[in-house]
Structure 1
């Protein structure tokens, strides 16, 4: 990262960065208020494909964090946009929840049970053997495989649960098809979010709590990166996680208050 000017835009992770489940991380509301006050554009960027942007905005607002649907970029939206660009009006077989199905429809894709051009898969908490079998059938028949995000585990009220990547591993093992991955650390979601943001990568910063996804994605996209120690990564596990991820952030902030101070200092406010 060589850009030394002011921060012109931010791509913000959600879970572990701005909230834990349904609980706002202290300072998240003040951070977003600061960005709005200082006219710094931002987008909420999430690997979670289960909800629509509007639903994510409602969740944030319910915690007291300002948000609109247009400020949310999901792996579901990016996946649908990717498919629509490769093959407009493509037939897709969907394994996923409402966020992914709605994104596919809004992108002009046709959801089908057979004859699919693409199998697009995200988290599906109503997954069945029949769905897996149909997906594999489509892939063996020539459909291309799209994975919204590679997360093997996801946080829940009851601890960690299998994520979209775990489902994808089963489909890949059965079909032999390696999927195109959309979500972090892939640059596909990041470029989708940067296009929505309208700010160049070199002038944008990615903020997140996960070195292997958020920070790795920011690095790959050419953005500045800020690791906040508010979620997965802590001061105690930082070095081991950095070694596993093979990357380090440009800046480390202990919490969101420290991030707010860094933005103020960087931008000379």
Structure 2
């Protein structure tokens, strides 16, 4: 493990750079200051770039427009890979009939759920009329009553043996320098523990997103896993996912991980990045 390395020095050794979005490119304050220069440097150096995000609330097109609005120029939708994309692909092949129930916002449902497969928010479900519910999807941490609708979700999954899909595996996300909020994955983990069930999770650290990104860049060139660097701010998603997929990993301190606790976090988790650097702008 190489510490306090310059990101620019690290990046020179790789042909493709995978970046987490929240905590690497941006955080609760907005864009990381100087990130436009880093993106420009990677492009000028001929690096292939992909953003890998567990944000399932927006499509790649919406993500690219959001980055543009925040001031980051030049990211294309095809360079952004989301956990919502993975969940959508699964539902296209698996949820071919009946209604799909969801926790989340209508906007997230419109992006992820199939137009020809009726979807219904959990709040609108009548638990006495659920025989045609074919899947349950955890989409977002907003758009529902946490008390009533999580309870209803538990009862739905007790009564119906159907696939439960988690479109965002993140358990929490930063909302201020020292504060976090519970994310979709955290809600899903709670329900899993109550029901003693394993749901289908998409997003880092699971391999689907990495496999998709790897196959996607190989449509435009020849890349081996040794050519790729995954950069993230969270050991349990970004770094673990990259390690499991077999690519090099770099941990940064602009999101969930603090330099004050990083040694304890690594020791407690057993998740070891190849590199540690302050941010992607140095």
Q: TM-score range by the shorter chain?
A: 0.7 to 0.9
The alignment status of 1:120 with 2:137, answered yes or no, reads: yes
The answer (yes or no) to whether the contact 2:239–2:249 under 8 Å persists in 1 is: yes
Q: 1:181 aligns with which of 189, 192, 201?
A: 201
The answer (yes or no) to whether the contact 1:12–1:43 under 8 Å persists in 2 is: yes
Q: 2:280 aligns with which of 247, 256, 260?
A: 256
- Once residues 132 and 209 of structure 1 are traced to their aligned partners in structure 2, the CA distance between those partners, rounded to angstroms, is 29
CA-to-aligned-CA distance 1:160-188 (integer Å, 9 cap, x gap): 22211232133224444321221211112
**Residue of structure 2 in register with 1:208 after alignment:** 232
**Residue of structure 2 in register with 1:264 after alignment:** none
Q: 2:87 aligns with which of 79, 84, 105?
A: 79
Q: Aligned-pair distance for 1:68?
A: 2.1
Number of residues of Structure 1 aligned to a counterpart in Structure 2? 253
CA gap of 1:72–1:90, structure 2 versus 1, over 3 A, is: farther
The answer (yes or no) to whether the contact 2:101–2:137 under 8 Å persists in 1 is: yes
The answer (yes or no) to whether the contact 2:95–2:134 under 8 Å persists in 1 is: no
**Residue of structure 1 in register with 2:262 after alignment:** 238
What do you get for the CA RMSD once the two structures are aligned?
2.6
The alignment status of 1:147 with 2:156, answered yes or no, reads: no
- Once residues 153 and 110 of structure 2 are traced to their aligned partners in structure 1, the CA distance between those partners, rounded to angstroms, is 15
Q: Which moved more, 1:229-238 or 1:90-99?
A: 90-99
Q: Aligned-pair distance for 1:12?
A: 0.7
CA gap of 1:192–1:245, structure 2 versus 1, over 3 A, is: farther
1:170 is paired with a residue whose SS is helix
The alignment status of 1:34 with 2:45, answered yes or no, reads: no
- Once residues 36 and 8 of structure 1 are traced to their aligned partners in structure 2, the CA distance between those partners, rounded to angstroms, is 11
Query: TM-score scaled to structure 2, two decimals?
Result: 0.79
> Structure 1, unaligned stretches of length 5 or more?
259-269
The alignment status of 1:24 with 2:24, answered yes or no, reads: no
> Structure 2, unaligned stretches of length 5 or more?
2-11
Which structure is richer in relative contact order (CA contacts within 8 A, separation 6 or more)? 2
The answer (yes or no) to whether the contact 1:77–1:100 under 8 Å persists in 2 is: no
Q: Aligned-pair distance for 1:124?
A: 2.9
- Once residues 64 and 205 of structure 1 are traced to their aligned partners in structure 2, the CA distance between those partners, rounded to angstroms, is 25
CA-to-aligned-CA distance 1:52-95 (integer Å, 9 cap, x gap): 2222212211233232222211111111213334x263553222
CA-to-aligned-CA distance 1:222-249 (integer Å, 9 cap, x gap): 1111112222223221111112331111
Name which one, 1 or 2, has greater alpha-carbon Rg: 2
Query: TM-score scaled to structure 1, two decimals?
Result: 0.82
The answer (yes or no) to whether the contact 2:168–2:203 under 8 Å persists in 1 is: yes
The answer (yes or no) to whether the contact 1:22–1:63 under 8 Å persists in 2 is: no
- Once residues 155 and 241 of structure 1 are traced to their aligned partners in structure 2, the CA distance between those partners, rounded to angstroms, is 17
